[in-house]
């Protein structure tokens, strides 16, 4: 709980007299925003509902009660002193530079300084022109009135800073923690400048927000690398060039990385300095709004990669040492520093830090229209050791003992509770490698509240297999186990490879499979070599078995769907600041002479098949009926479809008998060996298969199929 006295219940901003946002129902796109969530549902709960689905949690009942009580105290505290979560989390409407009828009001929390003033182009950087007054809670305020002609006292595009004097007499300059637009001129300095963003004709959203679907097919993308050219791509180029491809492929969700402003491009967006500012290297904020609006018009929902696990170590243009102290937004001392990432760690117990972070989430939803969040670094947040040099075995004592950072877990519960209660249908995803039980159960039931967790063990499995074993030595039982090893009723986003596997120092699956031959033998004008033949076949099969068996949602990192031939390496000193590998060569799939088009077509067929049969969200249990290690054949039922995989490198099987629970006629829904997908066309896709009333592999019926080597076949039944 907070260490300092909270604000009064009258004004939500530390004693200042404000016009508060009107409460009650309000529509934001297609999300119906509820009034302040009632706490009665929390009053009647004790945080142990999760035990119904997992009785092995029973020895930790006391832990769950204490964790839930901490979360409930936060909600009640905010209700009592801030007028509820809705009002509390709208601080972005009051902090920073806020235009109003008679001018611009500026507020900033900086409890450690004795003087503060607003400076910038508008007052010739005069530290005496716009002094600020401090309230009892450390919030500084000043007002810049309109000019006599009624125009704003600070022009759109003006550079601004807050300057402060510490108790020792040192004058410091900082960018507002609430800056909504910051720019960087590397030819002058790597330090960002804050720019007052108040365009006279701001972007107006045109399209209705779609509701996130139950079967998430996520296209993970980075705007800057989304061009074949060796430079930073823009929001507008992504809107024009990449969104139509995502729609064509059949994905229903775009997950944008590296949006929050970060000074070092090669950090992949994970060293944030300005949490409320979309990265200016891709264009102005309104261009991001247009991107999201156009995506909504295509029926795509858009998720944001949220970095609340840590903050960049920068001082002059970041949050570090914001008011000259070590402990403004962060824990002081060693607890406030991440040794591996060289970054600062938030003090989630702080009232004002919680206000800041929750308001940051609301800002991206309300102002930009995001439909979901992927929370980065959740493992680092939830444990005091941050997962550094710690291997999780699955023993429950690893999660519910002194290793857990209860303050961070309470914040995650609060963040998830707020997003889901204020925006029913909103989606949250946790990047967690630890496998914490109850992570994806509602906060009011005692869970942490996420909708999904990322299945991070699956891409590790595929890379390990490709690195260490030939495919004729693959253990199908191991593959099947890893794909299905997830907690019951806690949904998982499965994937073969994300941006992590694409980074330099590792290889994409396509590169592991085909390596240097991708530069010489990916043309249809050349003979197909054994390496290329194997690579194309297994690339398709790995993706299909993963989306078929691995989870309740699916993710792909851009370019991997067509076997992008190179790793990802951002401009840095070690590579001569080259953009050569910081791009996605979409031009490769537009060249009809190259074989990349086959992988693209298969991924498209796979996504559209899921859109038709919805096996990711199917309530019907999946059933693995066959794992034949000698034949290298895997068979399972999922989503009213029969899935057959022959991973054998040479053996094809005629009249191969497989079991099925469903009787009747079967036809081909997807064939990885189709020539349209770069296969050999060994299966007649007009073939009809009929079951016999002969039980097989613990299924009530059976049928005979032709199953060529390195081929996946999906059958639908009438």
Whether the predicted pLDDT of 26 surpasses 50: no
Whether the predicted pLDDT of 613 surpasses 90: yes
Whether the predicted pLDDT of 188 surpasses 70: yes
Instruction: Please answer whether residues 208 and 29 qualify as being in contact, where contact means their C-beta atoms are separated by less than 8 angstroms.
Output: yes
Confidence of residue 14 (pLDDT cuts 50, 70, 90): very low
The C-alpha atoms of residue 134 and residue 142 are separated, in whole angstroms, by 9
Average of per-residue pLDDT across 39-53: 83
Whether the predicted pLDDT of 377 surpasses 60: yes
Tokens of 331: 């824990």
* Selected catalytic residue, list 86, 294, 352, 376: 376
Whether the predicted pLDDT of 370 surpasses 60: yes
Average of per-residue pLDDT across 354-378: 98
* Cβ-Cβ contacts under 8 Å for 156 (sequence gap 6 or more): 196, 197, 198, 199, 200
Average pLDDT, the chain: 92
Task: Please tell me which of 392-406, 489-503, 704-718 the model is most confident about, judged by mean pLDDT.
Answer: 704-718
Q: Which residue has the higher pLDDT, 125 or 53?
A: 125
The C-alpha atoms of residue 104 and residue 82 are separated, in whole angstroms, by 24
Whether the predicted pLDDT of 281 surpasses 80: yes
The C-alpha atoms of residue 599 and residue 433 are separated, in whole angstroms, by 29
Instruction: Please answer whether residues 376 and 304 qualify as being in contact, where contact means their C-beta atoms are separated by less than 8 angstroms.
Output: no
pLDDT digits (tens, 9 = 90+) for 491-549: 999 999 988 877 766 788 999 999 989 999 999 999 999 999 999 999 999 999 999 99
Confidence of residue 347 (pLDDT cuts 50, 70, 90): very high
Closest CA to 60 of 429, 397, 502, 411: 397
pLDDT digits (tens, 9 = 90+) for 556-590: 999 999 999 888 889 988 899 899 999 999 999 99
Confidence of residue 42 (pLDDT cuts 50, 70, 90): confident
**Which pLDDT score, from 0 to 100, does residue 401 have?**
83
What Å distances lie between residue 588 and 219, 509, 562, 606, CA to CA?
A: 18, 17, 9, 20
376 has catalytic annotation: yes
Average of per-residue pLDDT across 331-350: 96
* Selected catalytic residue, list 220, 431, 497, 558: 431
Tokens of 326: 């070590």
**Which pLDDT score, from 0 to 100, does residue 22 have?**
29
3-class DSSP assignment, residue 350: coil
93 has catalytic annotation: no
- Give me the domains of the chain, ranges plus CATH numbers: 26-90 (no CATH), 92-195 (2.60.40.10), 623-717 (2.60.40.1180)
How many Cβ atoms are within 10 Å of 56's Cβ, its own excluded? 9
**Which pLDDT score, from 0 to 100, does residue 506 have?**
75
Tokens of 505: 């120092």
Tokens of 601: 């077509």
**Which pLDDT score, from 0 to 100, does residue 685 have?**
94
3-class DSSP assignment, residue 163: strand
Name the strand (E) or helix (H) holding 420. helix 406-422
Name the strand (E) or helix (H) holding 235. helix 235-237
pLDDT digits (tens, 9 = 90+) for 421-450: 999 999 999 999 999 999 999 999 999 999
Whether the predicted pLDDT of 23 surpasses 70: no
Q: Which of 12-26, 263-277, 607-621, 674-688 has the lowest mean pLDDT?
A: 12-26
How many Cβ atoms are within 10 Å of 597's Cβ, its own excluded? 19
Instruction: Please answer whether residues 553 and 215 qualify as being in contact, where contact means their C-beta atoms are separated by less than 8 angstroms.
Output: yes
The C-alpha atoms of residue 464 and residue 473 are separated, in whole angstroms, by 13
């Amino acid at each position: 709980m907070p260490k300092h006295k909270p604000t009064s219940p009258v004004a939500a901003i530390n004693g200042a007299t404000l016009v508060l946002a009107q409460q009650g129902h309000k529509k934001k796109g297609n999300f119906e925003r509820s009034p302040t969530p009632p706490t009665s549902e929390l009053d009647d709960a004790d945080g142990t509902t999760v035990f119904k689905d997992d009785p092995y949690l029973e020895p930790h009942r006391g832990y769950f009660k204490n964790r839930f009580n901490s979360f409930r105290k936060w909600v009640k505290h905010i209700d009592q002193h801030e007028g509820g979560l809705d009002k509390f989390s709208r601080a972005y409407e009051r902090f920073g530079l806020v235009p109003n009828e008679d001018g611009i009001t500026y507020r900033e929390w900086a409890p450690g300084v004795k003087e503060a003033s607003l400076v910038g182009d508008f007052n010739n950087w005069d530290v005496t022109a716009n002094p600020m007054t401090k309230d009892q809670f450390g919030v500084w305020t000043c007002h810049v009135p309109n000019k006599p002609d009624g125009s704003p006292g600070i022009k759109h595009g003006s550079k601004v800073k807050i300057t402060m004097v510490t108790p020792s007499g040192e004058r410091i300059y900082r960018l507002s923690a609430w800056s909504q637009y910051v720019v960087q001129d590397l030819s002058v300095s790597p330090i960002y400048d804050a720019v007052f963003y108040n365009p006279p004709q701001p972007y107006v959203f045109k399209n209705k927000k779609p509701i996130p679907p139950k079967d998430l097919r996520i296209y993970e993308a980075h705007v800057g690398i989304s061009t074949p050219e060796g430079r930073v791509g823009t929001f507008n180029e992504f809107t024009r060039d990449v969104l139509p491809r995502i729609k064509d492929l059949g994905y229903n969700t775009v997950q944008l990385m590296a949006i929050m402003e970060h000074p070092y491009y090669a950090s992949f967006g994970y060293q944030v300095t300005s949490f409320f500012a979309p990265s200016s290297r891709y264009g102005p904020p309104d261009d991001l709004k247009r991107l999201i609006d156009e995506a909504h018009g295509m029926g795509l929902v858009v998720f944001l990669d949220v970095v609340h696990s840590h903050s960049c170590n920068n001082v002059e243009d970041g949050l570090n040492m914001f008011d000259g102290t070590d402990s403004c937004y962060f824990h002081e001392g060693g607890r406030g520093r991440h040794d591996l990432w060289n970054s600062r760690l938030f003090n989630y117990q702080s009232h004002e830090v919680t206000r800041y972070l929750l308001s940051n989430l609301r800002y991206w939803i309300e102002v930009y229209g995001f439909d979901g969040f992927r929370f980065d670094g959740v493992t680092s947040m939830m444990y005091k050791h941050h997962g550094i040099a710690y291997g999780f075995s699955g023993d429950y004592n690893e999660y519910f003992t002194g290793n857990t950072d209860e303050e961070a877990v309470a914040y995650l519960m609060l963040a998830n509770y707020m997003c889901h209660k204020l925006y029913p249908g909103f989606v949250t995803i946790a990047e967690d490698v630890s496998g914490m039980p109850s992570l994806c159960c509602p906060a009011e039931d005692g869970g942490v509240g996420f909708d999904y967790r990322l299945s991070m063990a699956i891409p590790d499995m595929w890379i390990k297999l490709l690195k260490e074993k030939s495919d004729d030595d693959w253990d199908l039982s191991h593959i099947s186990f890893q794909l299905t090893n997830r907690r019951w009723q806690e949904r998982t986003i499965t994937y073969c490879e994300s941006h992590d596997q694409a980074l330099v120092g590792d290889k994409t699956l396509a590169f592991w499979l085909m390596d240097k031959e991708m530069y010489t033998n990916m043309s249809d004008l050349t003979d197909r070599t054994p390496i290329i033949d194997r690579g194309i076949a297994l690339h398709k099969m790995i993706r299909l078995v993963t989306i078929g068996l691995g989870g309740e949602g699916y993710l792909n990192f851009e370019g991997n769907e067509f076997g992008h031939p190179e790793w990802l390496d951002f401009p840095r000193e070690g590579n001569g600041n080259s953009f050569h590998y910081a791009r996605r060569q979409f031009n490769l799939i537009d060249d009809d002479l190259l074989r990349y088009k086959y992988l693209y077509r298969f991924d498209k067929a796979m996504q559209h098949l899921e859109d038709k049969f919805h096996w990711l969200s199917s309530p019907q249990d999946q059933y693995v009926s066959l794992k034949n290690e000698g034949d290298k054949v895997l068979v399972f039922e999922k989503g009213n479809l029969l899935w057959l995989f022959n991973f054998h490198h040479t053996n094809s099987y005629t009249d191969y008998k497989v079991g099925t629970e469903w009787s009747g006629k079967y036809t081909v829904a997807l064939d990885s060996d189709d020539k349209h997908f770069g296969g050999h066309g060994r299966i007649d896709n007009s073939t009809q298969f009929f079951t016999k009333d002969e039980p097989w592999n613990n299924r009530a019926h059976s049928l005979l199929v032709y199953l060529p080597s390195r081929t996946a076949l999906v059958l639908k039944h009438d």
